[in-house]
């Protein structure tokens, strides 16, 4: 089975020298790619350029992405109606910079257009807009694929992340959703439509995810 794994963070430019990104090392996606390869699957790993996890990679192909748009382009380029599994582990930036502003002496926000915003101007105001959701396009690109999404939450607690995961399943038509983060607590949860929640350790999760494509 051909498996695509996305791993690590995307980043979005603030200016020519600074970036927005998030706390992702690429470890979980990298470990999953290695485990799938060890099970005999053909694995393509899309790895964030800023991933800091260092370990030998067993994936047949490794391609690096930077921004949300670049990861989206890599996935769209592999679109197929044939058998495929996509594990969307990457931590995609939820926001990109729509504008940067400084405050004038009159208190008005004035746009800043420069290659590197100077700190001498004082505080900088950023206007952030949501990035397009890659997971919303996966079913269009891989209509017959096994699709696994991720839901990482911080503040909503276990009931909140369960609801968010159920919403992801319904709205994006992925087959499974992995839950983790402070809202979930230790370990991982695997949500599948019309099935009870599976609570798993990291190793159990890797083994369980591999079984999702073992019959293809």
Report the CATH number that the domain containing residue 197 is assigned in CATH. 3.40.50.10300
Domain assignment present for residue 6? The answer is yes
Does residue 169 register a pLDDT over 70? yes
Question: Are residues 75 and 113 both part of a single domain?
Answer: no
Question: Are residues 120 and 178 both part of a single domain?
Answer: no
Question: Are residues 106 and 40 both part of a single domain?
Answer: no
Domain that holds residue 18: 2-93+132-211
Over the stretch 55-93, which tens digit does the pLDDT of each residue have? Answer: 877 777 899 999 999 999 999 999 999 899 999 999 999
Does residue 10 register a pLDDT over 90? yes
Q: What is the mean pLDDT of residues 172-201?
A: 96
Query: Any idea which residue has 């159920």 for tokens?
Result: 166
Domain assignment present for residue 187? The answer is yes
- Give the number of C-alpha atoms closer than 13 A to the C-alpha of residue 214, restricted to the C-beta side: 10
List alpha helices for 10-67, DSSP H. Answer: 27-38
Backbone angles phi, psi at 134, to 5 degrees: -60, -40
Question: Are residues 26 and 66 both part of a single domain?
Answer: yes
Question: Are residues 75 and 157 both part of a single domain?
Answer: yes
Question: Are residues 159 and 59 both part of a single domain?
Answer: yes
Question: Are residues 109 and 149 both part of a single domain?
Answer: no
Query: Any idea which residue has 């709205």 for tokens?
Result: 171
For the chain, give the mean pLDDT.
Answer: 92
Does residue 54 register a pLDDT over 90? no
Domain assignment present for residue 216? The answer is no
Dist. CA 210–CA 45, nearest whole Å = 15
Q: Please, are residues 15 and 115 in contact by the beta-carbon 8 Å criterion?
A: yes
- Confidence at 216, pLDDT banded by 50, 70, 90: low
Dist. CA 2–CA 42, nearest whole Å = 5
For the record, the structure tokens of 70 come out as 């670049």
Q: Are strands 125-130 and 198-200 parallel, antiparallel or unpaired?
A: unpaired
Question: Are residues 29 and 110 both part of a single domain?
Answer: no
Q: Please, are residues 4 and 72 in contact by the beta-carbon 8 Å criterion?
A: no
């Amino acid at each position: 089975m051909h498996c695509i794994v996305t791993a690590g963070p995307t980043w979005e430019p603030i200016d020519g020298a600074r970036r927005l990104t998030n706390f992702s090392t690429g470890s979980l996606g990298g470990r999953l790619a290695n485990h799938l390869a060890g099970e005999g699957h053909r694995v393509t790993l899309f790895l964030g350029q800023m991933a800091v996890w260092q370990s030998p990679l067993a994936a047949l192909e490794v391609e690096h992405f930077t921004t949300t748009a670049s990861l989206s382009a890599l996935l769209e380029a592999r679109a197929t109606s044939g058998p495929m599994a996509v594990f969307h582990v990457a931590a995609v930036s939820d926001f990109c910079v729509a504008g940067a502003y400084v405050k004038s002496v009159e208190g008005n926000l004035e746009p800043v257009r420069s290659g590197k915003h100077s700190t001498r101007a004082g505080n900088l105001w950023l206007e952030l807009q949501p990035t397009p959701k890659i997971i919303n396009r996966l079913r269009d690109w891989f209509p017959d694929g096994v699709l696994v999404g991720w839901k990482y939450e911080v503040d909503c607690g276990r009931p909140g992340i369960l609801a968010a995961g159920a919403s992801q399943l319904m709205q994006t038509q992925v087959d499974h959703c992995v839950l983790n983060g402070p809202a979930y607590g230790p370990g991982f949860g695997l949500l599948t439509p019309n099935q009870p929640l599976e609570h798993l350790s990291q190793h159990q999760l890797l083994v369980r995810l591999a079984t999702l494509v073992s019959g293809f």
